[in-house]
Amino acid sequence: AKYLEEQGFKVEVKPVRDLHSINQKAGVPDALEGCHTSFIDGYVVIGHVPVDAIRKLLAERPKIVGISIPGMASMPANLPGMPGIRFKPVAIYEITTDGSPSKIFMTVP
């Protein structure tokens, strides 16, 4: 939340007990769930997604549910809120509206 606020977004934090149910209601498939769920201007954003990807999403306005860096246990280093050095690119996936296989929305080097 702090990262998004620092980037100019208005943030309201709502702690929940069952993130899986929130994700299901939002149309996020199990394979694309992550450690955080954000709702930004009609889109779902899952995980430690950099603001560049969020801004691209909002500028392009694709017909998708949202974007995701999936995974609870393996959160990539050197993304917002994650310390360390990243040694390989990280894929950000589209969350499709029809349940079709996800494509890569963009890659963070």
Distance CA 48, CA 80 (A): 6
Sequential pLDDT tens for the chain (109 residues): 888 999 999 999 999 999 999 999 999 999 999 888 999 999 999 988 999 999 999 999 999 999 999 986 445 655 555 555 546 788 999 999 998 888 999 998 8
Does the global pTM surpass 0.95? Answer: no
Strands 90-95 and 104-108: antiparallel
The DSSP code sequence of 37-95 is: EEEETTEEEESS--HHHHHHHHHH--SSSEEE--BSS-PPTTSTT--S---S-EEEEEE
Within 10 angstroms of residue 26's Cβ, the number of other Cβ atoms is: 15
